[in-house]
Amino acid sequence: MERKSAWDKIQDKKIVFRFCDDYIKYLNHSKTERVCVSYTRRLAEAAGFKELDTIDRLKPGMKVYKINRGKNIVLAAIGKDDIDSGFNLVAAHIDSPRIDVKQIPLYEDSNLALFKTHYYGGIKKYQWTAIPLSLIGVVVLEDGTVIDVNIGESENDPVFTITDLLPHLASEQMAKKMSEGIGGEDLNIIIGSLPSDCEKDKYKQTVIDLLQEKYQVQEEDFISAELELVPNFNARSLGLDSSMIAAYGQDDRVCAYTAYKAIAELDVPQRTAICFLADKEEIGSMGNTGMQSRFFENFVAKLIAKQKDGYCELMLKDAFSNAMCLSSDVTCAMDPTFKSVSEPLNSAYLGEGVAFSKFTGARGKSSTSDASAEFVAKIRKILNDADVAWQMTELGKVDQGGGGTVAQYIANLDVDTIDCGVPLLSMHAPYEVSSKVDVYMAYKAYKAFYVAE
């Protein structure tokens, strides 16, 4: 197999760069699943999508969306065919590895007020120390009032950080295994250092007073809060030639954005196109906002009921049996500095286009959906007919490690499913790297897939 740069298929590089400018904007408004859902909704409404429950009868060409508990959004472009004859689904996820604030977070020590945290997803903990972090999320009061918190993203806001040990005193730390250099309970966030007039807990009290004054939040309210610490730095073009993007959360908002953008630009497809942006993928797709939730089936059932007279369970089953899916998630690009973990023939490479994987999982293809040869052939044709630059890949060498995606949960619903996505360097780090041409090719692939028959 000859390796080819995806840039060779680009006539005018400006189109790719312009496309990625909007993607960079999306990343900067989407650092948590909640803000990603509200930003996507804003874009979708401006593009003509309507909330599904406001529509009585679905007709071809209509665009609808539904939000699940503020953390998961699904969008559909209604096709000419009935939905029980199948749909084309692109599923990505919008949660990313991060640091969550604990339910009882606040304490003071050595003239500092701090928050205890619990990390979310697979992180290398040492990467999250000594960098600026923003605090984004919600605090929900007992009466149901939702207070939005977003500190650090505006230029005049303060930021937060997790401390690390100075090298002068770190000889013991440095002798440890990398996985043990920073422990889970070491990820404490510095919140403040101003003493109050109180006798006891004077540093903690300043924070409590400020929270009361600015947000009308009491200490107990943290119990019903979801506060996430995410890298403060914004997405940027990377490299002397600006051909790449460095940003937090490209896993998997790169597939979320491209999948959204492609469905937003559809006219009237033959088959209904659906874009599902899931939460909780990084921790196993569990819970009612994850891919394993019934929410997705309920949404498709609702589409059918609003399209046809007399909904029945069999129609839903037919819709899934006849559906096909791109499970769209990032993969590992060959890193010239860490080549030994990848097998060169089957690795994804930066700049060679959107990466497909017949399977993910670990060891002997454990915990994965293995796409059928028949389905892979069909996908090849769709991509080649649309002149998409794509590559067939595996994540790392056999037995090197591995990972899963939402593919298996969608495939379990009786849907033909294959993994694909954008290759990244430094995946799951606070600053991940993608190639602009791969981002563009993912968008082109999703556009071609949505309208395939």
Q: Which residues here bind Mn ion, judged by CB under 5 A?
A: 251-252, 329
**Nearest residue to 438 via CA among 330, 326, 345, 341:** 330
**Nearest residue to 119 via CA among 138, 139, 96:** 96
- Tell me the closest approach of the beta carbon of residue 275 to Mn ion, in angstroms: 16
Tokens of 104: 């009882």
- Tell me the closest approach of the beta carbon of residue 251 to Mn ion, in angstroms: 4
- Tell me the closest approach of the beta carbon of residue 330 to Mn ion, in angstroms: 5
Burial class of residue 356 in the structure, from the number of CB atoms within 10 Å of its CB (0-12 exposed, 13-18 middle, 19+ buried) = buried
Measured between its terminal Cα atoms, the distance across the chain in Å is 28
- Tell me the closest approach of the beta carbon of residue 97 to Mn ion, in angstroms: 7
| β-pairing verdict for 63-68 and 50-51 | parallel
Instruction: Rank residues 139 and 350 by Cβ distance to Mn ion and give the closer one.
Output: 350
Instruction: Rank residues 78 and 235 by Cβ distance to Mn ion and give the closer one.
Output: 235
- Tell me the closest approach of the beta carbon of residue 261 to Mn ion, in angstroms: 18
- Three-state secondary-structure class, residue 346: coil
Instruction: Rank residues 7 and 120 by Cβ distance to Mn ion and give the closer one.
Output: 120
Instruction: Rank residues 411 and 452 by Cβ distance to Mn ion and give the closer one.
Output: 411
- DSSP assignment string, 59-78: -TT-EEEEEETTTEEEEEE-
> To which H or E segment does residue 96 belong?
none
d(CA 426, CA 119): 18
List Cα–Cα distances, 119 to 122, 185, 323, in angstroms: 8, 9, 36
- Tell me the closest approach of the beta carbon of residue 344 to Mn ion, in angstroms: 23
- Tell me the closest approach of the beta carbon of residue 325 to Mn ion, in angstroms: 15
Tokens of 54: 């406001």
Instruction: Rank residues 105 and 249 by Cβ distance to Mn ion and give the closer one.
Output: 249
**CA 283, 303, 356, 414 torsion: positive or negative?**
positive
Distance of CA 405 to the CA centre of its chain: 11
- Tell me the closest approach of the beta carbon of residue 443 to Mn ion, in angstroms: 17
Task: Note if the bond before 252 is cis, omega within 30 degrees.
Answer: yes
Phi, psi (degrees; rounded to nearest 5) at 23: -65, -40
Instruction: Rank residues 251 and 370 by Cβ distance to Mn ion and give the closer one.
Output: 251
- 392: region left, alpha or beta (phi > 0 left; psi from -120 to 50 alpha): beta
Helices 250-264 and 436-450: crossing angle in degrees, nearest 10, is 40
In this structure, what DSSP letter does residue 279 have?
S
Burial class of residue 17 in the structure, from the number of CB atoms within 10 Å of its CB (0-12 exposed, 13-18 middle, 19+ buried) = middle
Instruction: Rank residues 329 and 438 by Cβ distance to Mn ion and give the closer one.
Output: 329
Instruction: Rank residues 191 and 277 by Cβ distance to Mn ion and give the closer one.
Output: 277
- Side chain identity, residue 173: Q
**CA 342, 258, 281, 24 torsion: positive or negative?**
positive
Instruction: Rank residues 90 and 149 by Cβ distance to Mn ion and give the closer one.
Output: 90
Instruction: Rank residues 352 and 432 by Cβ distance to Mn ion and give the closer one.
Output: 432
